[in-house]
């Protein structure tokens, strides 16, 4: 049979990262390529106890169909955290539980995008978002990131010549660059976007993974309640349970709800109930503090090893949160070549090119530290440094 | 802020059924409106044991990120069931685990539909599918159902004048009509669709809920391996765990995989593992036999009570599977009016109009029997009959 597919699906490739991760799944490989939380920091015992208690107390309800919006006490917990940790005025009606925060991007695409619409993304930007939005065939307008956040002059130019439906960004420990927007940049960005009636889709996957434990005020806080935030329990609870959420003003939430009904009726209710029970019976703040301390140490090991082994013309970020170091190789040195050569020595990094919607970034790479121990970091970074030296003196 | 939404979202309403279900959630109401499995037939104890064993044995892995395709042993279990129960030649690579079978419809929409494409649906058709496909802005071409399945003359006319991307249908105990396609109709339908290069998206949510326990040969079986099937564990295991799947030929599966990555990376892995453990350690066939026997009894109570209480000009189906009786009131009697009047007497039915993509169906209603006990059925149907008599003699 001659299947006639949609335009969108024919012009979208499989996720480059997920394909690379298959290659690097070999346990003999030291992998800095992925973005996995450290399994030792997943509280499987706590989750086991929460699941057992819940299924005993209220199993039949937890296993039945439920509402599209999600479990009310879980939504209230999230709203309360916005109020107390971030000083945002949010109530539970503004929260909808999603199948991981990746699904938020699909819902946002459904709610805002017609084919040919434009959207602003960071350059480099989160690949999963670019792939998700691609399903709705927009034009991507890239705005460079510098140390304090998006380049606002570039953004102003973009807004002068086009009328994007939204801007998407990750202000805290951005994936892949690791950049955290400064407070001033957040305020100025909000002002520019509000003036042009462009909502900010604020992906806060790493908001809780700030090594100093301090909450950064969201860009949405400067937008008079008009921000659309997405959040995730993947990094602080369990990625496999796919628990994320959208937080949006009432008018937008009405549309998000329609998109969610059409997508899958509702998110896994058993997992919502287990999570909710876990939050009731465990101190998640203490757990988050442990994760941050462990990731801080790993980032420190990695940075100090890089300082020791890498030549001066290789630059890299000093993470203050998140799970990645962003590496910039000397001009003309390809990170794809480095990836290939290092993989032969059983170390995997992630080339930066797929994060650039408009091309470029050949000399960049993303290096994950959350899922490696001290020995792997010490060994792996030395191997990357040796391989780098080797490919620099060997013609391509 | 002036949010500029997509065309699709502005032209789609909230799910009428989900809104009605909110009204009928009051525990004092006898509800025939929903489509819930009977909670007494959810094996919460078995699931509790499977969850405990799994989390103890392999918790950290089950709570981590996983592959887009889904848990290999679960995919193999599903493929094996196609081979043994349905005689289809399917292997595990052709199965992808979804967030409930509703998500299959979203993925199918992403894979096949550009705006303005046409799709064939049954009339009446499953509302959740119509809503899901609506996100991709197709034109719906309706083909009536008669006792043996879709009207093939109508279908031939439709295929003569248009070139739909696919036809969507539910051959077993169709939702809402309860019709099961005859074997001849399946074969003839397959032949017509193959001739026109139109794939059949075969939603088999109720394939296991056949009261006689006999497997019906899928339409896909007559399509030389080109069928796209969707399946669900919601009716035989747990709806709240949102475990469904797509089964598709390799070429189509490549595209489905891209759509799934873009939608939410992967389905809830913990639930996949709990389900897989449950299937290993429990006799699901025995469990399905119990469900079928219980539903058969409930359907029988309902039909005999309808025969007793309803006047001769009300007709209704005699279900051989599934969860619904389909009611046709005398011409001119509106089921919406019956819904309103019955609700005042604390009984809820579901008017049929939303199931007709092109309008019509004012005298039809869907009556659920799976989630009521004998007393509720006896009381509730009598009240519906009384209310019906009352509204017939009262001017509107």
Cβ separation A223–B1 shorter than 8 A:
yes
Q: What is the mean pLDDT of chain B?
A: 95
Contact A241 B63 (CB under 8 A): yes
Residue closest to A357 by CA, chosen among A136, A122, A189, A159: A122
SS (H, E, C) B219-285: HHHHCCCCCEEEEECCCCCCCCCCEEEEECCHHHHHHHHHHHHHHHCCCCHHHHHHHHHHHHHCCHH
B298 in contact with A at a CB cutoff of 8 Å?
A: no
Give me B343's structure tokens.
């609700």
Within chain A, where are the H helices?
7-10, 16-23, 44-62, 72-86, 101-112, 127-134, 152-161, 183-195, 250-264, 269-281, 284-309, 335-344, 374-393
List beta partners, residue A121: A142, A168
In angstroms, rounded to a whole number, what is the distance separating the alpha carbons of residues A360 and A335? 11
Contact B270 A267 (CB under 8 A): no
Q: Please give the pLDDT value at position A396.
A: 65
Q: Which three-class secondary structure state does DSSP give residue A229?
A: strand
Q: How confident is the model at residue A155 (pLDDT cuts 50, 70, 90)?
A: very high
What part of A 177-206 touches B (C-beta under 8 Å)? 194, 197, 199
Which residues, in sequence order, are bridge partners of residue A315?
A328
The answer to whether the CB atoms of A263 and B102 lie below 8 A apart is yes
What is the CATH class of A44-281? alpha beta
Taking the Cβ of residue A287 and every Cβ of chain B, the question of whether any pair is shorter than 8 Å is answered with no
Q: Respond yes or no on whether the N-terminal peptide bond of residue B176 is cis (omega within 30° of 0).
A: yes
pLDDT grade for A366, boundaries at 50, 70 and 90:
very high
Q: Does B7 touch chain A (CB under 8 A)?
A: yes
- Check if B271 contacts A (Cβ < 8 Å): yes
Determine how β-strand B95-99 pairs with β-strand B243-247.
antiparallel
From A224, A99, A219, select the one nearest A167 (Cα to Cα). A219
Domain B7-43+286-393, classified CATH 3.90.1150.10, yes or no: yes
Tell me the average pLDDT across B71-82.
98
Task: Tell me the mean pLDDT in the region B310-317.
Answer: 96
DSSP 8-state code for residue A359? S
**pLDDT for res B396:** 65
Instruction: Flag if A241 and B100 touch (Cβ within 8 Å).
Output: no
The residue-averaged pLDDT of B143-160 equals 97
Three-class DSSP category at B180: coil
Say what the ipTM of the complex is.
Answer: 0.96
Q: Across the interface, do A62 and B240 touch by the CB < 8 Å criterion?
A: yes
- Whole-angstrom distance, CA of residue A302 vs CA of residue A372: 10
- Asked if the domains at B7-43+286-393 and B44-281 fall in one CATH topology, the answer is no
**Residue B156: per-residue pLDDT:** 98
* Residue numbers in A near B261 (CB within 8 A): 14-15, 18, 131
Token pair listed for A179: 């950049």
Q: pLDDT of A247-273, one tens digit each?
A: 999 999 999 999 999 999 999 999 999
A205 backbone φψ class: left, alpha, beta (φ>0; ψ -120 to 50): alpha
Subunit contact A63:B42, Cβ cutoff 8 A: yes
Q: What percent of chain A has pLDDT over 70?
A: 100
As a whole number of angstroms, the distance between CA B269 and CA B247 comes to: 19
Task: Closest CB to A255: pick one of B5, B113, B234.
Answer: B5
Q: What local confidence, expressed as pLDDT, does residue B349 receive?
A: 95
Residues 63-82, chain A, touching B (beta carbon < 8 A): 63-68
**pLDDT tens digits for range A46-89:** 999 999 999 999 999 999 999 999 999 999 999 999 999 999 99
pLDDT digits (tens, 9 = 90+) for A238-248: 999 999 999 99
Count of alpha carbons within 13 angstroms of residue B213, beta-carbon side: 10
Chain centroid to CA B103: how far?
12
* Strand pairing class (B347-348; B30-31): parallel
Spatial distance between the Cα atoms of A302 and A296, rounded to a whole number of angstroms: 10
pLDDT tens sequence across A16-28: 777 777 777 788 9
Residue A16, pLDDT score: 74
Taking a C-beta distance cutoff of 8 angstroms, is the pair B354, B175 a contact?
Answer: no
Give the contacts of A148 (CB within 8 A, at least 6 positions apart).
A181, A182, A184, A185
Q: In chain B, where are the structural domains located?
A: 7-43+286-393, 44-281
Q: Does the beta carbon of A175 lie under 8 angstroms from any beta carbon of chain B?
A: no
Specify whether the CB–CB gap between A329 and A388 falls below 8 A: yes
**Region B124-139: what's the mean pLDDT?**
95
With CA atoms as reference, the chain A residue closest to B99 would be A264
What does the pLDDT average to over B171-190? Answer: 96
The C-alpha atoms of residue A61 and residue A63 are separated, in whole angstroms, by 5
d(CA A274, CA A48): 9
Above pLDDT 90, what percent of chain A?
90
Alpha carbons A378 and A32: distance in angstroms, whole number: 12
Smallest Cβ–Cβ distance between B259 and the set A9, A251, A268 belongs to A9
| Tokens representing residue B89 in the block | 């030649």
Q: Is B393 on the interface with A (CB under 8 A)?
A: no
Show contacts of A214-219: CB within 8 Å, 24+ apart: A215/A85, A215/A86, A216/A171, A216/A172, A216/A180, A216/A181, A216/A183, A216/A186, A217/A86, A217/A87, A217/A183, A217/A186, A218/A86, A218/A88, A218/A171, A218/A186, A219/A169, A219/A171, A219/A181, A219/A186, A219/A189, A219/A190
Quickly state the pLDDT bin for B179 (edges 50, 70, 90).
very high
Q: How far is A316 from chain B (nearest CA, A)?
A: 27
Q: Are strands B200-203 and B139-146 parallel, antiparallel or unpaired?
A: unpaired
Helix (H, G, I), strand (E, B) or coil at B202: strand
CB of A15 less than 8 A from some CB of B? yes
Contact check, Cβ <8 Å, B239/A135 = no
């Amino acid at each position: 049979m001659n299947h006639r597919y949609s335009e969108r699906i024919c012009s979208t490739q499989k996720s480059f990262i997920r394909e690379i991760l298959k290659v690097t799944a070999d346990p003999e490989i030291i992998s800095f390529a992925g973005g996995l939380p450290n399994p030792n920091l997943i509280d499987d015992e706590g989750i086991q106890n929460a699941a057992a208690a819940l299924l005993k107390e209220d199993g039949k309800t937890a296993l039945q169909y439920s509402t599209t919006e999600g479990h009310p006490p879980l939504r209230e917990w999230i709203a309360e955290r916005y109020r107390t940790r971030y000083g945002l005025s949010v109530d539970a009606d503004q929260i909808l539980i999603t199948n991981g925060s990746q699904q938020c991007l699909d819902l946002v695409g459904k709610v805002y995008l017609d084919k040919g619409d434009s959207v602003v993304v960071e350059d480099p930007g989160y690949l999963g978002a670019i792939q998700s939005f691609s399903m709705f065939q927009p034009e991507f307008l890239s705005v460079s990131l510098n140390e304090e956040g998006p380049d606002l002059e570039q953004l102003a130019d973009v807004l002068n010549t086009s009328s994007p439906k939204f801007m998407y960004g990750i202000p805290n420990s951005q994936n892949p660059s690791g950049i955290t927007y400064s407070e001033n940049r957040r305020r100025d960005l909000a002002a520019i976007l509000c003036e042009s009636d462009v909502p900010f889709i604020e992906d806060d996957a790493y908001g809780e993974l700030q090594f100093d434990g301090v909450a950064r005020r969201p860009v949405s806080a400067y937008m008079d309640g008009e921000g659309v935030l997405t959040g995730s329990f993947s990094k602080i609870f369990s990625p496999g349970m796919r628990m994320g959420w959208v937080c949006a003003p009432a008018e937008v939430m009405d549309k998000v709800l329609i998109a969610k009904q059409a997508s899958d009726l509702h998110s896994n209710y058993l997992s919502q109930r287990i999570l909710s029970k876990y939050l009731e019976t465990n101190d998640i703040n203490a757990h988050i503090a442990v994760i941050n301390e462990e990731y801080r140490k790993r980032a420190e090991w990695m940075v100090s090893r890089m300082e020791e082994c890498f030549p001066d013309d290789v630059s890299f970020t000093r993470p203050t949160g998140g799970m990645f170091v962003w590496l910039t190789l000397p001009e003309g040195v390809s990170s794809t070549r480095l990836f290939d050569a290092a993989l032969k020595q059983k170390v995997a990094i992630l080339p930066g090119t797929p994060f650039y919607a408009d091309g470029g970034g050949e000399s960049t790479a993303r290096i994950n530290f959350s899922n490696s121990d001290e020995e792997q970091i010490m060994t792996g970074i030395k191997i990357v440094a040796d391989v780098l030296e080797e490919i620099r003196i060997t013609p391509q």
